[in-house]
Amino acid sequence: MASAAGLWLLLLLAPGSAYFPEERWSPESPLQAPRVLIALLARNAAHSLPAVLGALERLRHPKERTALWVATDHNTDNTTAVLREWLINVQTLYHYVEWRPMEEPRSYPDEEGLKHWSNSRYEHVMKLRQAALKSARDMWADYILFVDADNLLTNPDTLGLLMAENKTVVAPMLDSRAAYSNFWCGMTSQGYYKRTPAYIPIRKRDRRGCFAVPMVHSTFLIDLRKEASRDLVFYPPHPDYTWSFDDIIVFAFACKQAEVQMFVCNKEVYGFLPVPLRAHSTMQDEMESFMHVQLEIMVKNPPVEPSQYLSVLPKVPDKMGFDEVFMINLKHRADRRERMLRTLYEQQIDCKIIEAVDGKAMNSSEVEAMGIQMLPGYKDPYHGRPLTKGELGCFLSHYKIWKEVREGLEKSVKIRRLYGCSTQLPWALVFNYLFTSGSTLGVVQYVNPAPKSLQSKREKSKGTLGDNLPFDYYKLAFCRH
């Protein structure tokens, strides 16, 4: 019996064919991406939606794990048609789409203009955000991302970066062409904005990180997995709320009552937003403001391409009533040429490219052969130095244009379309009022002063280009240099 028992024990301990060796075990599969609902509220945003929706499409988060909640109302443009076309074309890509259009009315009864935020508008927006939050909770979403219809998320990793911060309410700091952004660093006891010394270092990214702030708005992420998120509401306002009836302040108060701290992160460049307009601004003002955002992005980043799921009409550039629009560019600076051409295209401006003269590549013999002489005693007022070769090349580039203007362009410029001044004004040159040499971005020139510009370089009297000055030497004529 003992030997039989020993044999049985050995059989139990011996590896059997029903067990896999450890090296043959399959590894555990990774977790699925979190479920996210993106909430987008749009009003009169047909001009911004192609770019905004294109940026949302490029977010690096699985679309099958992403739901869309989109509402639009009180429109005087074709915002509804733009959103409808986009949602029809992308609905099979995303997990779920909820569409809430409202065709009428086109305005609020108590508003004074399209940009005026009346109490009824605030209340309507709060109700919409609450409805989006409820939809996210009902579908057991892990996160909800609120995005304004003129906010451009240029960083495709924005969602993942915000999730990694593990905050209940967190916003990506959005850049603008001013000090404005989508967060406050201070709030008064009545709920109004308060200036603090902490704001600018964060806004300029002199300090980087994720910072506790009393207010985030426009674009922000809520982690619905957090227990405290259950107490967050957009509408109705908290029973103890007595501050101004404003959607972002109401929500900030709700976060405070729920003991949820808001955070803003500026570790990366996440995106851009326009500066708010005044209540009586027009749709044209808003379109131009958003155009400024797109142009600002192109200074250091690629342009924001429109959605591939929208039929966007091509722009039709023209010369704005001028005989010609010249764009000067050094041949070896292809990057600047491409950016400038795209910038002009976005503004629907057609131009003729003039290859700039590379003054730095010119040697002394070439300069002398052209009869170029520097004005004796001239020194730059800011640096105390004579004219540089770069400035010389700049002048020669403009000199080529002046010759073309004198030889071929006869029709007068329709300056009124740009500046709203009388065409009867006896003007010769219009340029921006700057203070540093070489920083003028553009000029408007009438046909008559071209010979004056040439004569001022003694071309007629000597056939040379003597006594050279920086191109903005016009400032010398009235002591602005």
Please report the pLDDT score of residue 304 as a whole number: 96
- Peptide bond preceding 236: is omega within 30 degrees of 0, i.e. cis? yes
What is the pLDDT, as a whole number, of residue 398?
82
Please work out, in degrees rounded to the nearest 5, the angle formed at the alpha carbon of residue 266 by the alpha carbons of 260 and 267. Answer: 115
Handedness of CA 290, 292, 297, 303 (dihedral sign): positive
Residue spans in the chain of domains classed CATH 3.90.550.10: 36-265
> How far apart are the C-alpha atoms of 122 and 405, rounded to whole Å?
55
Question: Rounded CA gap, 343 and 166, in Å?
Answer: 38
pTM (two decimals)? 0.83
In one letter, which amino acid is 199? Y
Helix and strand element counts for the chain (H, E):
14, 16
Q: Do 270 and 173 contact (CB within 8 A), yes or no? A: yes
Where would I find the H helices in 189-332? Answer: 199-203, 247-257, 283-300
pLDDT of residue 246: 97
Q: Give me the residues of the chain with pLDDT under 70, please.
A: 1-23, 409-441, 445-481
Q: 458 — phi, psi (to 5°)?
A: 65, 25
- For residue 439, the number of C-alpha atoms closer than 13 Å in the C-beta half-sphere is 8
Considering the segment(s) 36-265 as one domain, its CATH architecture is: Alpha-Beta Complex (3.90)
- By residue count, the chain amounts to 481
Three-state SS for 287? helix
Structure tokens at 38: 């993106």
Name the nearest CA neighbour of 476 among 394, 381, 390, 393. 381
Nearest to 117 by CA among 106, 108, 128: 108
Are the C-beta atoms of residues 85 and 310 closer than 8 Å to each other? yes
Q: Quick one: pLDDT at residue 418?
A: 36
CA distances from 429 to 406, 415, 478 (A): 14, 10, 13
> 71-95 burial, b if ≥16 CB within 10 A, otherwise e?
bbbbbebebbebbebbbeebeeebb
Backbone angles phi, psi at 40, to 5 degrees: -125, 120
- Residue 118: per-residue pLDDT: 96
